[in-house]
Structure 1
Amino acid sequence: MNIDLEKPMTHLTENKEDRYRPKYHMTPPVGLLNDPNGFIYFKGKYHVFYQWNPFKTDHSTKYWGHFTSGNLYEWHHETSVLAPEDWFDHSGCYSGSAIENKGNLIAFYTGNVKNEKGERETYQCMATSKDGMSLDKKGPILHLPDNYTAHFRDPKVWKKGSTWYMIVGTQTKEEEGMVAFFSSENLTDWEHHGPIAGSYMNGLDYFGYMWECPDLFSLSGQDILIVSPQGLEAKGDKYNNLFQSGYFIGEMNYEDQTFSHGTFTELDRGFDFYAPQTTIGSNGKRLLVAWMGMPDEDEKNHPTIDNCWIHGMTIPRELSIMEDKLYQKPVEEMTCLRTKEVRHNKVSISTDFHEFDGISGNSIEMVIDILSKDYEVFNMRVSDAIQVSYDSSTNIFSLTRRKYHSEIDEVRECILEDLSSLNIFIDVSTIEIFINGGQEVFSARYFTDNKDSSVLFSCEGELSLKITKWDMKNSIIF
C-alpha cells in the first residue's frame, strides 16, 4: 500500500525550521519511527524496514516503513510495504525479520489485533517479495501456543542446515519474559519446542515481565542471544533506562532445543537504544541497527513533534567478540561520508574548557586518541546539552545530558578500566560514542535551543590528545 505523504502531516511543517533533524541518521519523513524490522542484504541492496505511524507521532497504528541502501551510508526512503488492513493485523503490523529463500525475500511479522472486547490477539504472519520493494501478504503461519499471553511477538527466522528456525519474544501466563523456539522444514508449518531462555532459566532469577525483539546468531564460534527485556530493576549503573537491550553469550544445542548461556550484558549504556536487529552484510560481517528511542516514555513534549516526526535509527554497527564481550564499531562504509578533515596531532588540555581550531560542527565525526594519562578527570562538552567524562581514579565513564524541556541533568555511567580512544558521531540532535574500539557504546538524543556547535575539552591534571574531525555529508534521501 502506498501512502500519500502529502496528506498525513507534511502540510503542518511548511515554513518551519526542522532544526533537530539529523543529516546521516535514518529518521521518518513524517510520523513515528520505532523498531527496525527485516534488516537484510538482498539482491545487492540493504533493506531496513521499520515500525512506522505515518499519520501521527504516537503508537496508535503501525505500518512497515522502508529504507534501502547500496552501501550502508546513503539511505533512500521508499514507499510503505505493509499496512494494517487485514483481519489478522488490522491493529498493527508489528515487528519481525526477513530472510532470503529461493531468490525471494520472505518477511515474518506479528499481526496485532484488538477484538471487539478490547482484548489482544496475536498472529505470526508471512509476506513475500521478488524484489524487496513490495510485500505480498500470505497471512498467519503461526498461532499463539498454550502457556503464553497475547504478548507474543517479533519473530526472528534463520536457517541452519536444511531446517528453518524461529524465535519469538513472549510473556508467560505467570507474566515472565521468555524466548520461545520453533522449527520448520517449509517455513509455513512450525513446531513449538518451548522456551530456550527467560526468567528462572539458566540460573536467572526473575528477569522482567516481557522479552521483546529476540535475535539469535553465531559469531566466532559462539552463539549470541540478543533480547530487550522489560521490567528490570536498576542495579547501580545497570538497567537505568525504562527498558533494556542486551545479550547473552552461550551455546545453542539444536538437537536438544536448549540454550545455555552466561550473564546478561547491556549492548548500549546511553539513553536511547532499543529493539536492535542484526543481519549478515555483503562482506559476511554481522551488522546491527537499533531504534534510538525507548517505548512508553513521555513523547507528548518531544521537541521534534513540532515538525511532525519523532525518533530515528543508530548508524549501522559491525559486531565482533573480544574477551567474551560483544564489541560494536561503526561500519567501515561510514568513512565515505567524511569530508574537510581537521587534525591536531598533539594538543594539551587543562582545567579550563578549551576549543581547538576547526573542532566543531553539528554534523561531524571525531576520533580522539589519549596520548598521555597523567590525569584524574577528562571532560568533553558538546554545545550546552552533552558532557562526556572519565574519572581515572574511580574508573567511571559518564554521559550527562540536559533533559529536554527542563533544567535537569541526567547521567548514564559504566565502569571502564582504561580510556584509550573515542570515536564520536555527532549529528544535530544525536550522539553515538564508541569507546576503546567498541568496548562500550553510549547513544543518546539531545536537544538544545543553543545553536552553538562547539566541542570543548578540559581535564584535571595533565593530558594530551590527538584529535581528528571530519564534517559529514548528508546521506538520507526522502
Structure 2
Amino acid sequence: MLVDRNSELIRQAEETVAAYRDIVNQDKYRLHFHLMPPVGLLNDPNGFIQWKGKYHLFYQWNPFKTGHGAKFWGHYSSSNLVDWQEEKIALAPSEWFDKNGCYSGSAVDDGGVLKLLYTGNVKDGAGNRETYQCLAESLNGIDFHKKGVVLRLPEGYTAHFRDPKVWEHDGKWFMVIGAQSEKLEGRAVLFTSNNLEEWTLIGDVAGTNKNGLENFGYMWECPDLFSLGDKDILLVSPQGLKCEGMQFQNVYNTGYFIGKLDYKTGTLDHGDFTELDRGFEFYAPQTTIDTKGRRLVIGWMGVPEQEEDKHPTIAHHWIHAMTLPRELVLKNGHIYQQPIKELQELRKNEVLIEGIKIETEELQISQLEGSTYELQMHVTELETSLLEISLKDSVRLTYNRKDQVFTLERISLSTGKPEVRQCQLSKLNKLQVFVDTSAIEIFINDGQEVFTARIFPEVENKKISLKAADGHVKCSLQKWDLIK
C-alpha cells in the first residue's frame, strides 16, 4: 500500500501535539498574549499577510523536538491581530525538493488565490546542501497544494540561498532572496516574474563589499523589501557581523537600510545599517501591509545558536515565541516601531498615578504590580544621573542621563550573572513596556528604540520598584493588566 508522505508527516505532527498538549500547557512560562508553538520549536515568521479580510501568520516549526531540523510551516490566523486561531499545518517536508525542510518564505494574493513562495531545503547522503525555491497555493487559505520548484540556484551563489520575499510592483512580481556569493559574502538578490513560476535574475540589491559595505557578513537571511513614504527599506538579518561597542551584540543581528531601489538594475542606493531591535531575542522579522495602509512587522523572539539549549521551557517540550505585531513608521530617516492599537483590547484594570516623584529611596507601588501587563511612563522632569526600574527582580531598565545610555539588564540563562543590551539615547520622554510571563518588549519614546527579550522570573514575583541614583524624576505612570 502506497503511503502519502505528506499526509503521514502531518499525522505524526498532529499526534505529537496531542501527546504533549498537557505537559506543554502545564508550563508556568507559557505566554498569555504572544504566539508560541503548540509543541516543539518555533522560529522565523513566514507568509505574513492579510488575505480576504483575515490575517495569516505562518511559522517555521519543528513539532518533534526543541531543536532545529526538517521544518514544517505551522499556521495561525486572526481577524484582529490579537485573537489567534491555530489552523491546520500548511506545509510538511514531504517532497524531493523540500525533504529536509520547508524553509522560510512569504505569501501573496494572486487573483484571489493565496500563494506561498518558500525555500525547499535538501541534503544528500554526504550532507551537501541543495536549495530550491518552491510554490504552493490555496483557494481557501487553509489547504495548500504544492506546485513544485519555480527557481533553481543561479550561478555565482552557494546553496545558502533562501527565504524568498515576494511583492507586486507596477504590474510585475518581484522577489528578494537571502544569499551567499561564491566568495562567501552575504547578499540580497532580486528577481522578477510575470506569473510567479518563471523568474528572471535582475541582480544584487546589496551585500558585503558592495556600496561601501566592507566585511558585512557571510550570509544574509530573511530579506524584506518594501516602501515607507518615498523611501525603500531593505530589512535583513546578516550573519557574521562583529560586535562594535553597543552594536551587534547578539550571535546574529537584524536591521535595515534606507534608500532607493532601481528596479531595472536591482541595486539599492542606501545609507548605513541600523539595528531594528536592541534586545537579546529578535531575528528574521517579516512585514506586510494591511487594508488600513499600515506596514506591520512580526519578529521571531529568538536568535539562532544563541543559548537555545538553556531555555527552561524545553523541559515542557516547547521553545521560542513571536513578538507582538508592530507598525513601522519612518520619521527623520529612522524607523519607529509602535505596538499596534488593537493590543489595547487586552487592557483591563487601569491604574493611573500622576505627579509621581522618584528619588534615591526605592519606591514600590503595589497597584503597579502584576504578572502580565502594559506599563507606561511619561517623564516630565528628569533631574538625576541614573533612573532605575526593576521588574520582578529579574529585569532592570536604566537610563544614564550623563552618558545618554539606555540599558536592559537580565540574568543570563547560561552563567546566572547579569548581562546587558544597550543603546545611545539622547533623552528619555516615554517608556511603554509589555510584560508577559516569560517575555518583555520595551518601546522607548514611541518606538524610537525597542528592546525585546525572553525573561524567566519566579512566576509569583510581581514586584516593581523605581529609584533615582541622585536628584529626582517626575513622571506619570499608567498600568493595565493584559488579559485574553
TM-score (norm 2): 0.96
Moved more, 187-196 or 82-91: 187-196
Distance in 2, matches of 1:447 and 1:425, equals: 15
Tell me the residue number matched to 2:112: 103
Tell me the residue number matched to 1:237: 246
**How far apart are 1:5 and its partner, in Å?**
5.6
Distance in 1, matches of 2:267 and 2:143, equals: 36
**How far apart are 1:79 and its partner, in Å?**
1.7
Matches within 5 A, 1:67-466: 67-404=76-413, 406-449=415-458, 451-460=460-469, 461-466=471-476
**How far apart are 1:257 and its partner, in Å?**
2.3
Distance in 2, matches of 1:370 and 1:407, equals: 32
After superposition, the C-alpha distances for 1:221-252 in whole angstroms (9 at most, x for unaligned) are 10000000000000000000000000000000
**SS at the partner of 1:305?**
helix
Ranges in structure 1 where 5+ consecutive residues have no aligned partner = none
**SS at the partner of 2:309?**
coil
Distance in 2, matches of 1:423 and 1:430, equals: 14
C-alpha spacing 1:464/1:100, structure 2 compared with 1 (3 Å): same
Name the amino acid aligned to 2:318. W
How many residues of Structure 1 are paired with residues of Structure 2 in the alignment? 474
**How far apart are 1:406 and its partner, in Å?**
3.5
Moved more, 71-80 or 213-222: 71-80
After superposition, the C-alpha distances for 1:178-235 in whole angstroms (9 at most, x for unaligned) are 0111011111111112211001111111100000000000111100000000000000
Moved more, 269-278 or 6-15: 6-15
Distance in 2, matches of 1:208 and 1:5, equals: 35
After superposition, the C-alpha distances for 1:367-418 in whole angstroms (9 at most, x for unaligned) are 1100211111111111121000001011000000001253211100000000
Name the amino acid aligned to 2:373. I
C-alpha spacing 1:3/1:27, structure 2 compared with 1 (3 Å): farther
Distance in 1, matches of 2:361 and 2:31, equals: 30
**SS at the partner of 2:277?**
coil
**How far apart are 1:449 and its partner, in Å?**
3.3
Distance in 1, matches of 2:171 and 2:67, equals: 41
**How far apart are 1:4 and its partner, in Å?**
5.5
Distance in 1, matches of 2:357 and 2:236, equals: 42
| Contact residue 121 and residue 150 of structure 1 kept, 8 A | yes
Distance in 2, matches of 1:185 and 1:353, equals: 63
**SS at the partner of 1:304?**
helix
Distance in 2, matches of 1:328 and 1:12, equals: 36
More helix by share: 2
**SS at the partner of 1:39?**
strand
| Contact residue 154 and residue 212 of structure 1 kept, 8 A | yes
**How far apart are 1:3 and its partner, in Å?**
4.1
C-alpha spacing 1:243/1:110, structure 2 compared with 1 (3 Å): same
Structure 1 residue corresponding to 2:15, chosen from 3, 7, 12: 7
Name the amino acid aligned to 1:439. Q
Matches within 5 A, 1:50-69: 50-69=59-78
C-alpha spacing 1:189/1:224, structure 2 compared with 1 (3 Å): same
**How far apart are 1:298 and its partner, in Å?**
2.7
After superposition, the C-alpha distances for 1:225-283 in whole angstroms (9 at most, x for unaligned) are 00000000000000000000000000001133221000000000000000000000221
TM-score (norm 1): 0.97
Tell me the residue number matched to 1:38: 47
- Give the root-mean-square deviation of aligned CA atoms: 1.3
| Contact residue 356 and residue 476 of structure 2 kept, 8 A | yes
**How far apart are 1:134 and its partner, in Å?**
1.9
**How far apart are 1:465 and its partner, in Å?**
1.5
| Contact residue 228 and residue 243 of structure 1 kept, 8 A | yes
**How far apart are 1:352 and its partner, in Å?**
2.6
Ranges in structure 2 where 5+ consecutive residues have no aligned partner = 1-6
Name the amino acid aligned to 1:300. D
**How far apart are 1:364 and its partner, in Å?**
0.3
Name the amino acid aligned to 1:366. L
Distance in 1, matches of 2:442 and 2:310, equals: 26
Name the amino acid aligned to 1:305. I
Identity %: 47
Distance in 1, matches of 2:311 and 2:16, equals: 19
After superposition, the C-alpha distances for 1:50-104 in whole angstroms (9 at most, x for unaligned) are 0001111111220000111000111111121100000000000000000101001
| Contact residue 36 and residue 275 of structure 1 kept, 8 A | yes
**How far apart are 1:22 and its partner, in Å?**
0.9
Distance in 1, matches of 2:400 and 2:439, equals: 24
| Contact residue 403 and residue 446 of structure 1 kept, 8 A | no
Name the amino acid aligned to 1:335. Q
| Contact residue 392 and residue 458 of structure 2 kept, 8 A | no
**SS at the partner of 2:382?**
coil
